[in-house]
């Protein structure tokens, strides 16, 4: 039977497991089910929805993957809001799959990090300044110890902190996918380019000072310099900016980005 022509549109019934998933998702999204609250046992859901347990379980799997519910340590289900990092790491994976190059990452990182610095100037708090100082101490210690991995992680944290200090959650979210792939290269650079760590420390110092002084121009300038420095370091480490990221990471994958 061909339904392509006729008076009526095709009636489409969504599978029951989808309806179950959507119903629970609505509860979470609407706030009637708060993050952390138990969703209920499978048996309860079976009762409430009036479908079979297998059907409920299929719906649960979809929600789990979507980040709307989570299994607790006791294997029970708890509601939760899709976290940024979940989504970000998925996006990063998608970027890898699409074989983006470091040049592409760099351009976006430049735009977003400079924007972060700019907005941080206007919104930064004393507490965030303090955390940046702590971070700076950690970076200096890591450089002293010659621990490239530790330094790289702290550098990544620095930029995250600056974005956070901007008070702009959209910015914090938007920069995450690219930076998740971008900043781990710091390790590579620091391992191969001796002047990398000292230059990084100087740049961070200037950025922190600019934020402290609420100096928009300096913040913008040094963040931009810092990023361009990265680009130079990347080239000096013998890497090709137009190489797909996955090839560079083939040897040393950043934590959390399992391909």
| Residue 1 binding result from its own copies, DNA, none, given CB thresholds of 5 to 8 Å by partner type | DNA
- Mark residues 59-88: x for contact with DNA by CB under 7 A, - for none: ------------x--xxxx-----------
Does the footprint of its own copies cover residue 254 (CB under 8 A)?
no
Token pair of 29 as six digits: 């999204």
CB 210 within 8 A of CB 222: yes
Does residue 55 belong to the site contacting DNA (CB under 7 A)? yes
In the list 23, 87, 235, 257, the residue contacting its own copies (rule: CB under 8 A) is 87
Q: How far is the CB of 73 from DNA (least distance, A)?
A: 7
Helices (H) and strands (E) counted in the chain, each on its own, are 12, 2
23 binds its own copies (CB under 8 A): no
- Check residue 112 for interaction with its own copies (CB under 8 A): yes
- Count of Cβ atoms closer than 10 Å to residue 150 Cβ: 17
Token pair, residue 133, equals 């100082």
Which region, judged by CB under 8 A, interacts with its own copies, from 40-48, 107-115, 196-204, 205-213? 107-115
Q: How far apart are CA 38 and CA 61, in angstroms?
A: 16
Asked if 80 and 68 touch (Cβ cutoff 8 Å), the reply is yes
C-beta of 15: minimal distance to DNA in Å? 3
- Residue 47's binding partner among DNA, its own copies, none (Cβ under 5 to 8 angstroms by kind) is none
Q: With CA atoms as reference, report the closest residue to 193 among 140, 141, 248, 239.
A: 239
Residue 34 touching DNA (CB under 7 A): no
Dihedral, 246, 252, 256, 259 alpha carbons, nearest 10: 40
Dihedral sign, CA of 114, 117, 121, 123?
positive
Element (H, E) at 79: strand 77-79
From the list 16, 38, 42, 58, which residue makes contact with its own copies (rule: CB under 8 A)? 58
User: Alpha-carbon dihedral of residues 128, 129, 133, 136, nearest 10 degrees?
Assistant: 80
State the nearest-atom distance from the C-beta of 107 to its own copies, in Å. Answer: 6
**What token pair was written down for 218?**
């300096």
Binding region for its own copies (CB under 8 A): 17, 29, 54, 57-59, 61-66, 81-82, 84, 87, 90-91, 93-95, 97-98, 100, 104-105, 107-108, 110-112, 114-115, 119, 168-171, 173-175, 177-178, 259
Give contact residues for DNA (rule: CB under 7 A): 1, 15-17, 41-43, 50-55, 57-58, 71, 74-77
């Amino acid at each position: 039977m061909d339904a392509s022509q006729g008076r009526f549109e095709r009636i489409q019934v969504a599978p029951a497991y989808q309806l179950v998933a959507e119903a629970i998702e609505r509860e979470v999204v609407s706030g009637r089910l708060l993050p952390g609250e138990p969703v209920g046992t499978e048996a309860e859901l079976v009762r409430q929805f009036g479908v079979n347990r297998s059907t409920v379980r299929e719906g649960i799997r979809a929600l789990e993957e979507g980040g709307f519910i989570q299994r607790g340590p006791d294997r029970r289900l708890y509601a939760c809001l899709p976290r940024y990092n979940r989504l970000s790491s998925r996006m990063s994976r998608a970027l890898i799959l699409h074989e983006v190059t470091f040049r592409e990452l760099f351009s976006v990182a430049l735009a977003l990090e400079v924007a972060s610095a700019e907005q941080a100037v206007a919104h930064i708090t004393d507490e965030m300044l303090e955390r940046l100082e702590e971070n700076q101490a950690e970076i200096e210690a890591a450089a002293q110890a010659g621990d490239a991995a530790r330094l790289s992680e702290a550098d990544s944290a620095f930029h995250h902190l600056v974005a956070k200090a901007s008070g702009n959650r959209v910015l914090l979210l938007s920069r995450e996918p690219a930076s998740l792939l971008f900043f781990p290269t710091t390790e590579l650079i620091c391992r191969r380019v001796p002047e990398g760590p000292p230059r990084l420390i100087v740049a961070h110092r200037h950025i922190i000072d600019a934020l402290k002084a609420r100096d928009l121009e300096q913040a913008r300038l040094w963040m931009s310099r810092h990023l361009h420095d990265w680009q130079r370091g990347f080239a000096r480490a013998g890497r090709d900016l137009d190489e797909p990221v996955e090839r560079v990471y083939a040897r040393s994958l950043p934590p959390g980005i399992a391909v």
